[in-house]
Structure 1
């Protein structure tokens, strides 16, 4: 993982580069006559030439995805360098364009052209060897090192392979909630006991979690609205009390088919295709104005899908018609809105995974972890994203990733060599917080202040009527609008902090 700038004194050129998978951030852009670049927007803001104009088009993307995808940033004229890219800028060259030095599309193409043809056992052995090599390299540190452990497949596998290599007990960290519906710590504890790690867990109260909310604009230097940012920050803070480097299990879902949509979306699209699109769209239009639960609202949105690409775009969207919410903005193209370059991937499952590796993973998952960790002076490392592991995953047939209606098949089989299946086989839970009830309860006053009608009108970024209607619907309890509201609230809190 890296993001660097190299000045060539002889040629008078600046080269900016970012790692293959996008683990580290790099912002760059011209402001007036000055080229600014840095790993955080707050570094750019202190420069006297920084203009700081909000990019309303990027704001539509925040409402769409709950994050702002590369190459956009919240500021006009400032861009994120895409993962696996570099740009060479000569003095005064405003037309320099990023170019890939490693392109995941080529990795996927190579995997399709030369797929892995070995047995199940050989695939498990090869994955084990590559992960062992990755972890061995990432364990090298002259400071204390540990790992996050949720008790799920990915983090448990990373910890198991770490413990196999270590001469001492590995430091592991988990966070728990008093609300059993959101508590993963009990599962982490069971895995830690089996692997005999030096395990620490912190059960946080609702007050502990809520206290982080005012800090989010400082931690995420542009608006970012994945609410699992809160527990991620808390577990990073806990780990930093004992270690300086922590390994995580991120990447397993995208590379090996772990997310639930990968299993049900192909079947869903098969069912939808049996009903004429105009009929589906008509039903959705009739029911759309009704206050319905969030899951039903999502179902209504996908009824009108015209293609498999359109279906996934709708599933990944939080606000559907963003241009009716952000004033004076046109939503620009983004990977999920214009995915034509990936049509060479015939399998719907593999197509979704590929887009998530290039979009959701670097722009949401890795941003969430990196910023939360760095705010606590903790370095995170992601062994599953070693490019040799990524390239091997691209060669594996889909049947070694999704089998029997269950994702991450090959990862699971490898983990079962170290951890009993009964300890880790359970439905995917994610790293969630009860955001909906918080917004109706302890966060209501904070949210109401940020969503005041007079405030929204004065700032002039949002359609005040749409936002206030959504807020009232949520408060009434008739519908859960928390995922929509969180993107608005994260922008409003960030704006107030500028």
Structure 2
């Protein structure tokens, strides 16, 4: 795991500027720092390395292919790189290897096969930059699910890219203007979805795509359109058209264990200590069980506990670990331990990000890093296996909506809006408004957006903002339940869940891996009929059956608590003064980004105890805290 940074085009003191940018994300790669520059073409690639495979100098980056054509900086891991090596050898493309790093495998594969085929053949998580010295073209690429971040845009006349925004924000000519559309999207989702970033001049490369920049695009200061080499939606559509059929439930469990077991086995490849996060829930327990079955030794597992029972799952994790025989590590943290993390959050998360489970995730990563350099997680199970409870609720609402004749939905929606306007403040008005929006939604995407939005009308919170079209605004050929899970897979998963884990872990130089997001596991899950995902009202049914082969039911069958903190209570207590200082009306007015009135209305309602508006307020607070943090980036600190 590493960090990449680079520039193509004129830039004052480019080498020094890239060096400073690399230092800003040295946490992503504390083991070494490298720079490759071609002064004639004005290209510079920077890299900070966290050594995982091939700890010698043979793994140093940026790396030049043996034929001298390609220069690459890679962030991530290619789990099937040994298989790719064998194929390259059989085809006569690589007579001798310098080391055994996956970076060398990938750059040689690109020289032999080209970038698109190589990306399609690779199994892994990655973000890469590659300079083709023959074509004089720059290529950027990102893994299928967006596990690794990659930002790109222009700083002055130079095209720039990086694993983290803080690394490019100090480059000469960088434009620090805030993208108000991105800020509005943050209010809606509590994260900023790709391709947007908080800076108007920068974009995120979308998962499963690559970008080619040539001299003509550089001269025109444009970036071109990313090209998809893999599509989660296409796989979902194919899965609906060609569902799996099993002779028995036992055969289905066997099939899942085979594909998941292979993914877990592949992701245990490491030259450094490796472990896993274990909450005691279905997903992480299944990953750890498969690791323990295939590892040939005790797996290191990590969990944290809280003094507040409603948020504590450490006892469950400990019981699962004891049954599986892992080497278990746990840490109980107090409310003060968690609160002490809050001031650091804005800087760690690179752009405003407001999933409050970022706090325990950071604490967990810090603990795990004491013993291991790589940790596997159970993320992705809910999206792949239909685990979120909102799927059942949304499906019930959609079924009721579909029973209404289309001609009646509009008039009823108008009546609901009128009822909401006349209703007392509070739950009744919100429910009436929500029902009106649900009835008025043209298709299932916009319908589902109501279930995953915080501020329902973000343009009324962010000054001079308009809402851009996005994934939720387009109809799909997928059935309703499949459409919801696909939307979460291409939005909530890469831009919330994976961001949360990547930034928390990399802030302490810990690599995380997500076996559920092996694309072959996803392709299998997409072909599963819904009865294997939800049966008798129980989500992730098939994954549960697999886990029951390794862990007794009574250790894992319990209501899901999530991985959160008592944020609502904190905002009325120990975080109250900190929060109100960030929401001060004079401050908001001076900044010119937020309308103070709706924010302060929710603040007062929250403080009264009548409502819990903590998720809505946290989005604004993280934006405000990030604005303070970004000022230091602007000053080059």
TM-score interval for Structure 1 and Structure 2 normalised by the shorter chain:
over 0.9
- Offset at 1:285? 4.4
The superposition leaves residues 265-300 of structure 1 with CA deviations (integer Å, 9 ceiling, x where unpaired) of 21122234556533355335434664435x984674
- What does 1:435-474 correspond to in 2, within 5 Å? 435-474=567-606
- Offset at 1:122? 1.8
- CA contact under 8 A between 1:148 and 1:246: conserved in structure 2? yes
- Offset at 1:112? 2.0
Residue 292, structure 1, aligned to residue 420, structure 2 = no
Among residues 534, 548, 553, which one is paired with 1:402 in the alignment?
A: 534
Q: Which residue of 2 aligns with 1:151?
A: 280
Q: Which residue of 1 aligns with 2:396?
A: 267
Change (3 A) 1:7 1:489: same
Equivalent residue of 1:466, what SS? helix
Work out the number of aligned pairs and report it. Answer: 493
Q: Which residue of 2 aligns with 1:222?
A: 351
Stretch moving more, 463-472 or 362-371: 463-472
Equivalent residue of 1:212, what SS? helix
- Offset at 1:304? 3.0
- CA contact under 8 A between 1:148 and 1:173: conserved in structure 2? yes
Residue 46, structure 1, aligned to residue 176, structure 2 = no
- Offset at 1:367? 0.5
- Offset at 1:471? 1.1
Aligned counterparts of 1:316 and 1:204: Cα–Cα separation in 2: 30
Residue 205, structure 1, aligned to residue 323, structure 2 = no
- Offset at 1:264? 2.2
* Structure 1 residue ranges without an equivalent (≥5): none
Aligned counterparts of 2:538 and 2:148: Cα–Cα separation in 1: 31
Aligned counterparts of 1:455 and 1:46: Cα–Cα separation in 2: 25
Aligned counterparts of 1:296 and 1:150: Cα–Cα separation in 2: 37
Among residues 197, 202, 218, which one is paired with 1:78 in the alignment?
A: 202
- CA contact under 8 A between 1:298 and 1:315: conserved in structure 2? no
Aligned counterparts of 1:74 and 1:95: Cα–Cα separation in 2: 18
Equivalent residue of 1:72, what SS? coil
Residue 179, structure 1, aligned to residue 311, structure 2 = no
Q: Which residue of 1 aligns with 2:232?
A: 104
Residue 420, structure 1, aligned to residue 536, structure 2 = no
Change (3 A) 1:124 1:320: same
Q: Which has the higher contact order (CA 8 A, sep 6+)?
A: 1
Residue 113, structure 1, aligned to residue 241, structure 2 = yes
Aligned counterparts of 2:545 and 2:373: Cα–Cα separation in 1: 31
- Bigger CA radius of gyration: 2
Aligned counterparts of 2:494 and 2:376: Cα–Cα separation in 1: 17
- Offset at 1:253? 0.3
Aligned counterparts of 1:70 and 1:391: Cα–Cα separation in 2: 22
- Offset at 1:428? 2.0
Over the residues paired in the alignment, what is the CA RMSD in angstroms? Answer: 1.6
- Offset at 1:370? 0.6
The superposition leaves residues 302-345 of structure 1 with CA deviations (integer Å, 9 ceiling, x where unpaired) of 44312433331111110011111100111111212x132xx211
Equivalent residue of 1:461, what SS? coil
Aligned counterparts of 2:305 and 2:130: Cα–Cα separation in 1: 43
Aligned counterparts of 2:413 and 2:163: Cα–Cα separation in 1: 46
Equivalent residue of 2:523, what SS? helix
Q: Which residue of 2 aligns with 1:13?
A: 137
Change (3 A) 1:95 1:161: closer
- CA contact under 8 A between 1:272 and 1:303: conserved in structure 2? no
The superposition leaves residues 436-470 of structure 1 with CA deviations (integer Å, 9 ceiling, x where unpaired) of 11101000000010000110000000111121112
Residue 475, structure 1, aligned to residue 604, structure 2 = no
- CA contact under 8 A between 1:67 and 1:364: conserved in structure 2? yes
- Offset at 1:252? 0.5
- CA contact under 8 A between 1:263 and 1:406: conserved in structure 2? no
Change (3 A) 1:357 1:298: farther
TM-score, normalised by the number of residues in structure 1: 0.96
* Structure 2 residue ranges without an equivalent (≥5): 1-124, 631-637
Change (3 A) 1:30 1:279: same
